[in-house]
Amino acid sequence: MFIKKFFNISTIIILVSAFLSFYSCNHSKADSSLDANPNTVKNYENYCAGCHGFQLEKFEKKEWMYGSNDDDLIESIVEGRPEMGMPGFKKTFTEEEVVALAEYIKEGIPDDLKENPGTQNNIHNTDELTYRVDTIVSGLEVPWGMEFLPNGDILISERSGTLYRFSDDKLYKISGLPEIFVKGQGGLMDIKLHPDYENNGWIYFSFSAPADEKNEEGGNTSIMRTRLKNDLLYDTEIIFNGEPDTNKSYHFGCKLAFDNDDYLFFGIGDRGHREFNPQTLTNHNGKIHRIHDDGSIPEDNPFVDNPEAMPSIYSYGHRNPQGTDIHPETNEVWISEHGPKGGDELNLIKPGLNYGWPVISYGINYDGTTFTDITHKEGMEQPVIHWTPSIAPCGMIFVRGDKYPGWENNILIGSLRYQYLERVVLEGEEVVHQEKLLQDIGRVRNVVQDPEGYVYVAIETPGKIVKLIPVE
């Protein structure tokens, strides 16, 4: 083992303690390791910030990221936490860099950064228009899905497994959810009303469902439909269960989108098994799926006649799609998906095609090592665009209606890592312009439009929902 070859854990802890003692005697809180060791900050930003936040803000809310003591912290950096999707960095950092990084993390967030205020300027000028940002809902944890009921109330799902109805500036908890596997990236995810909701009342949810009783640590992505009355869900039906379950707690997908023909599309990530799942049709993972609104399989799905394939598969070779929407004019399916370190993608999905993961990619492993040397291969699709470095795209819509002049049919995509909303302008299938909006607003988890056409954005840190209002 890298670190144990030179030091045992006790030695490392002694070094860390000595390092901390030196700083406590010689530096104030303001004169932090950011000033004393810029290489440490660079290492953190390059390898850690994408998941843990550039200001270490994610450490404030997830104690498992700290570990329970110095031993756990060192072990996490060196060996990783594979069940949570965190690689080990024993091949990436020297012993001294591990010690410095541990100290930097232990020091924590500077007091003046603990509460991310979001965007300070409420009026924003963009290439096409000016808009105002109003906070509509605050006090949330990790808001994941948003959907608007016909009366204007907002349904809000939190990854922790809580479902709210927001009405008249108050949050009302909704009961009746099935058991949810809440771990890592898993939990209660997206919400989508049936296109004919006013007549049939169906609401669709994606969530991570636990495996059977023999595997309490595992699960996979499921889809349910249900109805709502008096803040209680009823008539609940599980219409899709991803297979196989895994013990990994990341890469669940899963945004929902109905096309103009009422087909339901959604993506499931590779579930942490890239070596097998995405390129194999015998499982649901690493795929985009298409089903009828009752969970049945369309007869013209591309692999429906292949006895070895999962019949819901629409496309394959995907890593972790967390944005799905339908082009308002062409009815085509577009997705955004997470790459590893680099190689996030915007893809136009066509039936039966292979999108290449992990055979081709523009990314590398999180620890800086490579897993493929090729970005192109015959029979595998290229992304419309890719982002390197990764922006960690989450949530995606096409702008519909005329509320935002100049934005019609543009794509809005959230960035978890860099904390902004990106506007993507298309001409046909080609990206011709990109613009960053809401810079430093916080980790953007989702973006939707209400029935009037106004854009709402869910922010993960701090947990809130904001509304973009055009200003003349």
244 CB-near residues (< 8 Å, 6+ apart)? 220, 283, 285
What pLDDT is stored for residue 46 in this prediction?
A: 64
Q: Which DSSP letter does residue 80 get?
A: -
What's the pLDDT tens digit per position in 237-284? 999 999 999 999 999 999 999 999 999 999 999 999 999 999 999 999
pLDDT for 50 beyond 80: no
Cα dihedral 134/229/159/83 (nearest 10): -170
What's the pLDDT tens digit per position in 384-437? 999 999 999 999 999 999 999 999 999 999 999 999 999 999 999 999 999 999
Give the pTM: 0.81
Pick left, alpha or beta for residue 350 (phi over 0 → left; psi -120 to 50 → alpha; otherwise beta): beta
Which of 166, 114, 120, 119 shows the shortest CA–CA distance to 140? 166
In the chain, the domains with their CATH numbers are 2-113 (1.10.760), 123-471 (2.120.10.30)
What pLDDT is stored for residue 94 in this prediction?
A: 74
Beta-carbon-side half-sphere exposure of residue 433 (alpha carbons within 13 Å)? 11
95-107 vs 38-47: helix crossing angle, rounded to 10: 80
User: SS3 letters for 226-240?
Assistant: EEEECCEEEEEEEEE
What's the pLDDT tens digit per position in 79-105? 666 555 567 676 666 767 667 767 777
Helix or strand holding residue 412 (H, E): strand 411-415
Query: Is omega for the bond preceding 117 within 30 degrees of 0, making it cis?
Result: no
What is the sign of the dihedral through the CA atoms of 387, 391, 397 and 398? negative
Neighbours of 192 (CB within 10 A): 24
pLDDT for 1 beyond 70: no
**CA 158/CA 148 separation, integer angstroms:** 15
What is the set of active-site residues?
A: 251
Beta-ladder partners of 156: 146, 164
The answer to whether the beta carbons of residues 67 and 81 sit under 8 Å apart is: no
**Ranges of H-type helices in 174-323:** 197-200
Pick left, alpha or beta for residue 85 (phi over 0 → left; psi -120 to 50 → alpha; otherwise beta): left
